[in-house]
Chain A
């Protein structure tokens, strides 16, 4: 058992960086159940993502099949073509490229687009704000449904001029946020979240929760893990499955817990995660993550890291978390190591290695790196394999610094006097006064 776990850990340390190359075993992933959590475009996008990254053919084909069906049902030609390309005729005749269908859908879409645009022009000449706003919204929805994201974005933005109530503004913000998340433009997401939060009316609890979740996602993608954790932890349980076109409540739990573990210190962890009643609702949905947070807090680092490794293959298939998983895991592991060594004057590396389920030499290298980065104040006795805490001798350090400062001062003063002299001669030559 320990050998396999050790191998898993070493893989974990190296595998995160080679995320693209290593095939991921996702035997436990139930594609249907996973996809059922989401709706809208994100379901198809996630299915395609899984198909691309997963190494197991069976699951890949299953995901692609579902993506194809979904895209076809939604008449989204862009995603449909993508799915068909990836299926590559492996699934039989029903899943081959159906250009006729694509053409007919596109034709119908053109017609509808023309109709919407004429309507909109009509509204514009009539200068009825509300109609214009709804017209732009409809066009935006239309573009979004057919996968033309940047046009959708532009249309939604244009409704801004015609919004009269804060409800309109909030609606506009939600639309823009949705499109921006899919476009990957998270700066816009943060922008519009704050815009929505600043409206004068009090917002519906569900909307508040949605905004927090979106903000958390934006922070996660821009690598601001601490802020992301805070946002996710503030998301109220009202979110439920109301935001399934973006994020599922399990995701909130997982993202929030991982970011918190990687970036919070112990007191914050306790107050904001473990004692957080609202967040507990989310954590109940993913009992493994709840276990892992509790293990970390109770210093059962070995079991915590084991849980992390078990979750890893599935998490690597998550469209938002994948790039950050390596960093987050490393941060959590480093935090665990640092916390482990804090209370002791000396630590036997053998015991520590067994607690962290890794080999002594690997652990030594990790510790050396952490010491060089000044995160641990200690020294390694490599001969006896012991880590000794070390605190700098203040008195000696002060003397040394004082003498050094004195020498530098003397040198600088002499150089300065010399330079003053040179400048004096320069002036003498220039000014005949």
Chain B
């Protein structure tokens, strides 16, 4: 049994090349367990001898064994421990920590817990973002850290920070359950940024993922899916064929008021919808969805006004107000103005006559920007093709696919 000092010396000495690291790893694994844990309380000062960047693996082992003991954590709560860990995460070397991913995840989780206990989630954002990048083997891989990171961003209301991680498409998933949390939190961030289309994509993935039994995350995801679909397109699409049968059969049972809400929305009457929402306000509040529900309500006006653009060339503000069930022409004017500014309709308001003229979409698809846009879309399809072909081939060749 080696003493900690000896171990530290090894770490310092053997953190050079890959062979040395392998040897070091072996030694560390031997020392891991009771040996290190027994000395865990006193490990902190030894860390100062090590450099987090160069000696990442050793640092990781020592740090992990230190934070694994809750006594240690309580003793050092709120102090420099957080700074040390954060520092480590930002400056560690990706290759080294990938050799002991479990320990790395453990450390990150501890950081997250500490940060939440201190009620300062924002302090965990930068270190965790760096950690996510380091442990990913490719930018398409999903790690358990993604969900934790997104949760911190949500709690700290730093939505833009979450975007950087969300922008990468995910194609590789090790643990299916990571996916659900990732989709759910990611969708909430997009909702916070009002990017409803991307939120819908993530929620769609959560709802249609293959699953053998229903989990609570999917149920919550479906509730938000219904609400965001109503805001985005005015209706909830039915389950596609590839949705798992568990989801298709059971989801609606657990989310009955949301299904009722969407039928109520379909009638197109603002006052009916309002009464329905008021009567079920408590249920929506407990699900923390009340804000979204209010957005659904205001989207009802938009949908009705958009329908008017299909029928009329010009319409007086009073008529708009009466057909959309608004109280005064002034309110109608406000809604139309906001929609014009958001680019949701093309119209001009003539205040002198109190008339609104609806125009055609001025986009002629003739400009050079449009051509570039079309061109880049075509390029991105081409880039997807190889991965489709390769996935197809690998799946076909798998024996397990055929006998399953």
Contacts and interface: CB of A to CB of B under 8 A. Distances in A.
Contacts of A423: 210
A412 to B, nearest CB: 9
Q: Which 10 A-B pairs have the closest CB atoms?
A: A399-B365, A431-B400, A383-B314, A379-B313, A381-B313, A382-B315, A427-B400, A371-B311, A383-B355, A380-B312
B307 interface: yes
A10 to B, nearest CB: 19
Interface of B: 169-176, 179, 201, 204-205, 208-210, 242, 307, 310-316, 319, 353, 355, 357-358, 360-361, 363-365, 370, 373-374, 377-378, 380-381, 384, 387-388, 391, 395, 398-401, 403-404
B312 A381 contact: yes
Interface of A: 368, 371-372, 379-384, 388, 393, 395-396, 399-400, 403, 406-407, 409-411, 413-415, 417-428, 430-431, 433
Given A380-B311, A381-B314, A418-B171, A406 B176 contact: no
A380 B381 contact: no
Given A396-B365, A410-B380, 18 more contacts: A368-B311, A368-B312, A371-B311, A381-B314, A382-B314, A382-B315, A396-B361, A396-B364, A406-B377, A406-B378, A411-B201, A413-B388, A415-B204, A417-B387, A419-B210, A421-B172, A427-B398, A428-B400
B377 A403 contact: yes
B404 A371 contact: no
B390 to A, nearest CB: 10
B201 A382 contact: no
A415 B395 contact: no
A381 B174 CA distance: 59
B384 A421 contact: no
Contacts of B398: 424, 427
B384 A418 contact: no
A418 B142 CA distance: 11
30 contacts: A368-B311, A371-B310, A379-B313, A380-B313, A380-B315, A382-B319, A383-B314, A383-B315, A383-B357, A396-B361, A396-B365, A399-B370, A406-B377, A410-B380, A410-B381, A414-B169, A414-B384, A415-B201, A417-B384, A417-B391, A418-B179, A419-B205, A421-B171, A422-B173, A424-B395, A424-B398, A425-B173, A425-B175, A428-B400, A430-B404
B210 A433 contact: no
A250 B27 CA distance: 107
Contacts of B316: 382-383
Nearest to A432: B400
Contacts of A393: 360
